[in-house]
Amino acid sequence: NPTEIIKKLIAKGIMVTVNQQIDFENAAKIAEEYGFLVDKEEVKDELEMLLEETPDDEKDLQPRPPIVTVMGHVDHGKTSLLDAIRNTNVTMKEMGGITQHIGASVVEINDKKIVFLDTPGHEAFTAMRARGASITDIVVLVVAADDGVMPQTVEAINHVKAANVPMIVAINKIDLPTANPDRVKTELSELGLVPEEWGGNTICVPVSAKKNIGIDNLLEMILLVAEMEDLKANPNKPARGTIIEAKLEKGKGPVATVIVQNGTLQIGDAILAGTVYGKVRAMLDDKGRRIKKAGPSMPVEVLGFSEVPEAGDKLIVVEDEKKARELAERRKELQKEMELKRKQKVSLEDLFSQIQEGSVKELNIIIKADVQGSVEALKKSIEDLSNEEVRIKVIHGAVGAITETDVMLA
């Protein structure tokens, strides 16, 4: 009898009407009073089911190119090493073509491909790296032969160890008269990275990005490690990937670079990334050429998003655009709920802390950048600058130009 149940609930201090839903715990308690045990059925959300990847059959898996991130101390030559690697691959006919800045580049050696992520590696980009580390198969750690191991080198090593990713050390600038590769090896050994030639299992490759020494050897080592890692994916299914960069481009609209991790992304696919949906209108490879499809490990610039997605978001292909839109809306709602919960918590805590602190000088900051990854990184760096006298609060971070509402908000 519903009236009886309502009475019982009111007795427990829960005011309800006949058509109202109550939470599971209270429903279970009432059922228990009637001598029933209630079991909670786990309802799998459609979103969750989509996110869960069904394991592939061994026979469907095919080898895929390794995805490599270059890390190291700020002036140890990461950028020049990446440039040298790219240039080994530039044939004369390509010289006229400009390298697109899509956040990744593909290099070919012995008919095999290697994908390099161009993530800026500095302390400020820890956030970006933390997001990027999950797509990386191999890390190349650049250490200058004259400088040796520096604080950021140690930081990079810790990141790589935490991500459990194999690492190759490139000892750069060996052409300098002050180069001392043995000292670098000693310092690395002290950090637990014992070089292979000293009986350990860390591959160290002497290189000079400037004089183009040892670059091919480094690439061959990458392929060797990739072979040992047995990297495989199934190209014959709808694509999944990760967004490594996203921006709003004049004349193109929202544009994102996606690394395909499984399956094949094709023109016309309906896509979902975080709270953003869309349909693949066009795809460009790292050389700026239009392509129709992209398989596992390949970086592509994708046009056709409803708005700018976030770097680090997972990209999933769904059956059609309508479905993608529904799921994106659903995610937005869930995000709003989370935000509300957070705001409720924050406002109370704020109230108490302000009472305790008297008045706090607070600096409200809005960050606007061209790429979402940079927003994340800057946000973290700026928040770290807070001290007792001034509290720095990043109230908003987004991609694009500064708008009137931003100024109002600040």
Same domain, 83 and 139: yes
Find the CATH number of the domain harbouring 300: 2.40.30.10
Residue 145 has pLDDT above 70, yes or no: yes
Residue 380 φ/ψ region, left for φ over 0, alpha for ψ in the -120 to 50 degree band, beta for the rest: alpha
pLDDT(99) > 50 = no
**Bridge partners, 314 (sequence order):** 242
- Whether 339 is in a domain gets the answer no
The answer to whether residue 267 scores a pLDDT higher than 90 is yes
Domain boundary among 230, 261, 279: 230
| Mean pLDDT, residues 341-352 | 57
The label of the residue with tokens 């183009």 reads: 212
End residue of a domain, out of 171, 195, 230: 230
Residue 13 lies in a domain: yes
For residue 47, being part of any structural domain is answered with no
Q: For 373-410, how does the pLDDT look when each residue is reduced to its tens digit (9 = 90+)?
A: 778 888 888 888 777 766 777 777 777 777 766 666 65
Task: Return the closest-CA partner of residue 301 out of 240, 260, 251.
Answer: 260
Query: Do residues 355 and 324 both lie within one domain?
Result: no
Are 112 and 167 members of one domain?
yes
Look at residue 396 and tell me if it is in a domain: yes
* Residue 124: per-residue pLDDT: 34
Q: What domain range is 18 assigned to?
A: 2-34
**pLDDT (tens digit, 9 = 90+) per residue, 160-200?**
777 778 889 998 888 888 888 888 898 888 888 888 889 88
Residue 375 lies in a domain: yes
Verify that 350 and 311 share a domain, yes or no. no
Measured CA to CA, the distance from residue 250 to residue 246 in angstroms comes to: 13
Angle subtended at Cα 316 by Cα 313 and Cα 319, rounded to the nearest 5 degrees: 150
Torsional sign, CA 302, 306, 308, 313: negative
Whether 158 is covered by a domain: the verdict is yes
Are 175 and 264 within one domain?
A: no
pLDDT band at 303; cut points 50, 70, 90:
very high
Mean pLDDT check: name the lowest of 32-36, 70-74, 80-84, 273-277: 70-74
pTM: 0.67
pLDDT higher than 60, residue 122: no
Summarised one tens digit per residue, pLDDT across range 216-239 is 899 999 999 999 998 999 898 888
Same domain? For 200 and 301 the reply is no
Tokens of 340: 């509300």
Widest Cα–Cα separation across the chain: 91
DSSP string computed for 163-228 = HT--EEEEEE-TTSTT--HHHHHHHHHHTT--BGGGTSSBEEEE-BTTTTBSHHHHHHHHHHHHHH
pLDDT for 95 equals: 42
Answer yes or no: do 354 and 385 share one domain.
yes
User: What mean pLDDT is predicted for residues 226-254?
Assistant: 88
Q: Dihedral sign, CA of 96, 101, 106, 109? A: positive
Residues 108 and 216 occupy one common structural domain: yes
At residue 18 the predicted structure's pLDDT band, cuts being 50, 70 and 90, is confident
- Are 270 and 319 contained in the same domain? yes
Work out the percent of the chain whose per-residue pLDDT is above 90. 12
Kindly state the average pLDDT of the residues 273-295. 89
Domain shared by 161 and 206, yes or no: yes
Asked if residue 55 belongs to a domain, the reply is: no
At 392, which CATH number?
A: 3.40.50.10050
What is the percentage of the chain residues whose pLDDT exceeds 70? Answer: 80
Q: Are residues 322 and 355 in the same domain?
A: no
pLDDT of residue 324: 86
Q: Is pLDDT of 133 > 70? A: no
Question: For residue 48, is pLDDT > 90?
Answer: no
The answer as to whether 335 is a domain residue is no
Give the domain-ending residue among 170, 205, 230: 230
Which pLDDT does position 370 carry in this prediction?
A: 78
Q: Domain check: are 28 and 100 in the same one?
A: no
The count of domains in the chain is 4
Residue 199, C-beta contacts closer than 8 angstroms, at least 6 positions apart: none
